[in-house]
Structure 1
Amino acid sequence: MKVLMTAAALTALVSVSNAHAVEFVAADDSHATELCMAFASDRPHIMLEAIRGQHTAKVRITNKLECNDMNLSEFAQTYSLTRTAKFMRIDIETETSIKDIAQTESTLPVVLSGSK
Protein backbone atom coordinates (compact mmCIF):
# COMPACT_ATOMS: atom_id res chain seq x y z
CA MET A 1 0.00 0.00 0.00
CA LYS A 2 2.82 2.40 0.88
CA VAL A 3 4.48 1.66 -2.47
CA LEU A 4 1.31 2.61 -4.34
CA MET A 5 0.92 5.84 -2.38
CA THR A 6 4.58 6.75 -2.97
CA ALA A 7 4.29 6.01 -6.69
CA ALA A 8 1.13 8.12 -6.94
CA ALA A 9 2.80 11.01 -5.12
CA LEU A 10 5.85 10.87 -7.41
CA THR A 11 3.63 10.75 -10.49
CA ALA A 12 1.76 13.81 -9.26
CA LEU A 13 5.00 15.71 -8.66
CA VAL A 14 6.31 14.88 -12.13
CA SER A 15 3.05 15.93 -13.79
CA VAL A 16 3.02 19.22 -11.85
CA SER A 17 6.63 20.01 -12.78
CA ASN A 18 5.96 19.22 -16.44
CA ALA A 19 2.83 21.37 -16.46
CA HIS A 20 4.96 24.53 -16.50
CA ALA A 21 7.26 23.32 -19.28
CA VAL A 22 7.33 25.49 -22.38
CA GLU A 23 6.99 23.90 -25.79
CA PHE A 24 9.37 25.33 -28.39
CA VAL A 25 8.70 25.21 -32.14
CA ALA A 26 11.44 25.97 -34.68
CA ALA A 27 10.70 28.98 -36.89
CA ASP A 28 13.00 27.77 -39.66
CA ASP A 29 15.68 25.19 -40.38
CA SER A 30 18.73 27.43 -40.04
CA HIS A 31 21.82 26.35 -38.13
CA ALA A 32 21.25 29.05 -35.50
CA THR A 33 17.69 27.89 -34.88
CA GLU A 34 18.92 24.30 -34.58
CA LEU A 35 21.36 25.43 -31.89
CA CYS A 36 18.63 27.41 -30.12
CA MET A 37 16.34 24.37 -30.13
CA ALA A 38 19.14 22.27 -28.65
CA PHE A 39 19.75 24.93 -25.99
CA ALA A 40 16.01 25.12 -25.25
CA SER A 41 15.85 21.36 -24.68
CA ASP A 42 17.71 21.97 -21.38
CA ARG A 43 19.59 18.73 -21.95
CA PRO A 44 23.38 19.13 -22.14
CA HIS A 45 23.92 16.01 -24.26
CA ILE A 46 21.59 17.34 -26.96
CA MET A 47 23.42 20.67 -26.93
CA LEU A 48 26.76 18.87 -27.22
CA GLU A 49 25.53 16.93 -30.27
CA ALA A 50 24.35 20.15 -31.91
CA ILE A 51 27.69 21.86 -31.24
CA ARG A 52 29.59 18.93 -32.74
CA GLY A 53 27.26 18.96 -35.75
CA GLN A 54 28.01 22.65 -36.34
CA HIS A 55 31.80 22.17 -35.98
CA THR A 56 32.20 25.20 -33.77
CA ALA A 57 33.34 26.02 -30.24
CA LYS A 58 31.15 26.44 -27.16
CA VAL A 59 32.69 29.82 -26.43
CA ARG A 60 31.82 31.16 -29.88
CA ILE A 61 28.23 29.98 -29.57
CA THR A 62 27.92 31.46 -26.08
CA ASN A 63 29.22 34.84 -27.26
CA LYS A 64 27.48 35.10 -30.65
CA LEU A 65 24.25 33.09 -30.65
CA GLU A 66 20.95 34.84 -29.99
CA CYS A 67 17.63 33.07 -29.60
CA ASN A 68 14.46 35.11 -30.18
CA ASP A 69 16.57 38.29 -30.15
CA MET A 70 17.98 37.51 -26.68
CA ASN A 71 21.52 36.50 -25.81
CA LEU A 72 21.83 33.04 -24.28
CA SER A 73 22.00 34.38 -20.73
CA GLU A 74 18.70 36.25 -21.10
CA PHE A 75 17.12 33.31 -22.91
CA ALA A 76 18.19 30.87 -20.19
CA GLN A 77 16.82 33.14 -17.46
CA THR A 78 13.53 33.75 -19.26
CA TYR A 79 12.77 30.05 -19.70
CA SER A 80 14.68 28.65 -16.66
CA LEU A 81 17.11 26.62 -18.77
CA THR A 82 19.58 26.04 -15.95
CA ARG A 83 21.09 22.71 -17.05
CA THR A 84 22.08 23.87 -20.52
CA ALA A 85 23.26 27.23 -19.17
CA LYS A 86 25.53 25.44 -16.71
CA PHE A 87 26.87 23.23 -19.50
CA MET A 88 27.63 26.31 -21.63
CA ARG A 89 29.21 27.99 -18.56
CA ILE A 90 26.65 30.78 -18.49
CA ASP A 91 26.18 32.16 -14.99
CA ILE A 92 22.51 32.96 -14.52
CA GLU A 93 22.62 32.83 -10.73
CA THR A 94 24.19 36.27 -10.24
CA GLU A 95 21.40 38.36 -11.73
CA THR A 96 18.35 39.29 -9.71
CA SER A 97 14.87 39.49 -11.15
CA ILE A 98 11.31 39.49 -9.93
CA LYS A 99 9.02 36.80 -11.28
CA ASP A 100 5.28 37.05 -10.77
CA ILE A 101 4.39 33.59 -9.50
CA ALA A 102 0.68 34.35 -9.64
CA GLN A 103 0.86 35.00 -13.38
CA THR A 104 -0.59 32.16 -15.39
CA GLU A 105 1.69 30.81 -18.06
CA SER A 106 0.49 30.50 -21.61
CA THR A 107 0.05 27.00 -22.98
CA LEU A 108 0.80 28.16 -26.51
CA PRO A 109 4.08 26.96 -28.03
CA VAL A 110 6.93 29.47 -28.33
CA VAL A 111 8.22 29.96 -31.87
CA LEU A 112 11.99 29.90 -31.65
CA SER A 113 14.38 31.53 -34.13
CA GLY A 114 18.14 31.86 -34.06
CA SER A 115 20.47 34.71 -34.93
CA LYS A 116 20.10 36.23 -38.36
Structure 2
Amino acid sequence: MTQRHKDRQINFIELPARDVAASKKFYSAIFGWTYQDYGDDYADICDAGISAGLNGEPDSAAKKPLVIMYSSNLEDARARVVKAGGKITKDIFSFPGGRRFHFTDPSGNELAIWSDAGIE
Protein backbone atom coordinates (compact mmCIF):
# COMPACT_ATOMS: atom_id res chain seq x y z
CA MET A 1 0.00 0.00 0.00
CA THR A 2 1.38 3.40 -0.97
CA GLN A 3 1.34 6.12 1.66
CA ARG A 4 -0.18 9.30 0.22
CA HIS A 5 0.92 11.57 3.05
CA LYS A 6 4.27 11.81 4.81
CA ASP A 7 4.11 11.37 8.56
CA ARG A 8 5.11 14.40 10.67
CA GLN A 9 5.47 16.79 7.72
CA ILE A 10 3.60 19.94 6.73
CA ASN A 11 0.74 18.74 4.58
CA PHE A 12 -1.83 21.53 4.24
CA ILE A 13 -2.27 25.29 4.62
CA GLU A 14 -5.71 26.61 5.48
CA LEU A 15 -6.59 30.25 4.86
CA PRO A 16 -9.47 31.81 6.78
CA ALA A 17 -12.07 33.36 4.46
CA ARG A 18 -14.87 35.64 5.65
CA ASP A 19 -16.40 35.25 2.17
CA VAL A 20 -15.32 32.03 0.45
CA ALA A 21 -16.84 32.99 -2.93
CA ALA A 22 -15.03 36.35 -2.96
CA SER A 23 -11.76 34.69 -1.87
CA LYS A 24 -12.06 32.08 -4.62
CA LYS A 25 -12.66 34.79 -7.21
CA PHE A 26 -9.69 36.82 -5.89
CA TYR A 27 -7.16 33.96 -5.93
CA SER A 28 -8.46 32.64 -9.26
CA ALA A 29 -7.90 36.07 -10.83
CA ILE A 30 -4.36 36.29 -9.49
CA PHE A 31 -3.11 32.69 -9.69
CA GLY A 32 -5.68 30.82 -11.79
CA TRP A 33 -6.47 28.46 -8.91
CA THR A 34 -9.42 26.09 -9.17
CA TYR A 35 -11.40 24.60 -6.29
CA GLN A 36 -13.22 21.57 -4.94
CA ASP A 37 -16.17 22.90 -2.90
CA TYR A 38 -17.39 21.27 0.30
CA GLY A 39 -20.52 23.32 0.91
CA ASP A 40 -20.68 27.11 0.91
CA ASP A 41 -18.07 27.60 3.65
CA TYR A 42 -15.13 25.44 2.56
CA ALA A 43 -13.16 24.98 -0.65
CA ASP A 44 -10.02 22.95 -1.27
CA ILE A 45 -7.56 24.73 -3.54
CA CYS A 46 -6.70 22.24 -6.28
CA ASP A 47 -3.57 23.69 -7.87
CA ALA A 48 -1.69 25.96 -5.45
CA GLY A 49 1.53 23.92 -5.36
CA ILE A 50 0.74 22.62 -1.85
CA SER A 51 -2.51 21.23 -0.53
CA ALA A 52 -4.54 24.16 0.74
CA GLY A 53 -8.06 25.32 1.46
CA LEU A 54 -10.27 28.32 2.17
CA ASN A 55 -12.21 28.02 5.43
CA GLY A 56 -15.23 30.27 5.94
CA GLU A 57 -16.92 28.14 8.59
CA PRO A 58 -17.87 30.58 11.36
CA ASP A 59 -17.23 28.12 14.21
CA SER A 60 -14.03 26.46 13.01
CA ALA A 61 -11.98 28.84 10.87
CA ALA A 62 -8.69 29.98 12.39
CA LYS A 63 -8.09 33.71 12.65
CA LYS A 64 -4.79 33.45 10.74
CA PRO A 65 -3.43 31.04 8.12
CA LEU A 66 -3.26 27.58 9.66
CA VAL A 67 -0.34 25.22 8.98
CA ILE A 68 -1.47 21.60 9.19
CA MET A 69 0.82 18.60 9.58
CA TYR A 70 -0.08 14.98 8.85
CA SER A 71 0.22 12.12 11.34
CA SER A 72 -0.46 8.45 10.83
CA ASN A 73 -1.38 8.24 14.56
CA LEU A 74 -3.43 11.23 15.70
CA GLU A 75 -3.74 10.23 19.34
CA ASP A 76 0.03 9.74 19.62
CA ALA A 77 0.65 13.12 17.97
CA ARG A 78 -1.75 14.78 20.43
CA ALA A 79 0.04 13.16 23.36
CA ARG A 80 3.43 14.38 22.03
CA VAL A 81 2.07 17.94 21.67
CA VAL A 82 0.80 17.96 25.27
CA LYS A 83 4.02 16.39 26.62
CA ALA A 84 6.09 19.05 24.82
CA GLY A 85 4.03 21.83 26.42
CA GLY A 86 1.63 22.64 23.59
CA LYS A 87 -1.86 23.82 24.48
CA ILE A 88 -4.79 22.05 22.81
CA THR A 89 -7.18 24.69 21.41
CA LYS A 90 -9.58 22.32 19.56
CA ASP A 91 -9.57 18.69 20.59
CA ILE A 92 -9.80 15.89 18.05
CA PHE A 93 -12.79 16.30 15.72
CA SER A 94 -13.95 14.70 12.48
CA PHE A 95 -14.32 16.37 9.11
CA PRO A 96 -14.93 14.98 5.60
CA GLY A 97 -11.87 12.83 4.90
CA GLY A 98 -10.33 12.57 8.36
CA ARG A 99 -9.88 13.89 11.88
CA ARG A 100 -7.69 16.65 13.34
CA PHE A 101 -6.93 18.78 16.36
CA HIS A 102 -5.52 22.29 16.84
CA PHE A 103 -2.89 23.48 19.30
CA THR A 104 -0.65 26.44 20.06
CA ASP A 105 3.11 26.37 20.35
CA PRO A 106 5.09 28.28 23.03
CA SER A 107 4.97 31.44 20.86
CA GLY A 108 1.20 31.29 20.53
CA ASN A 109 1.11 30.12 16.90
CA GLU A 110 -1.91 27.95 16.17
CA LEU A 111 -1.19 24.78 14.19
CA ALA A 112 -3.10 21.58 13.51
CA ILE A 113 -2.38 17.91 12.95
CA TRP A 114 -4.68 15.70 10.89
CA SER A 115 -4.95 12.05 9.95
CA ASP A 116 -6.93 9.92 7.56
CA ALA A 117 -5.80 6.73 9.33
CA GLY A 118 -8.81 4.53 9.99
CA ILE A 119 -11.08 6.55 7.68
CA GLU A 120 -12.65 4.54 4.88
Q: Same fold (TM over 0.5)?
A: no
**Larger strand percent:** 2
Larger fraction in helix: 1
Structure 1 length-normalised TM: 0.24
Instruction: Select the structure with the greater relative contact order (CA < 8 A; seq sep ≥ 6).
Output: 1
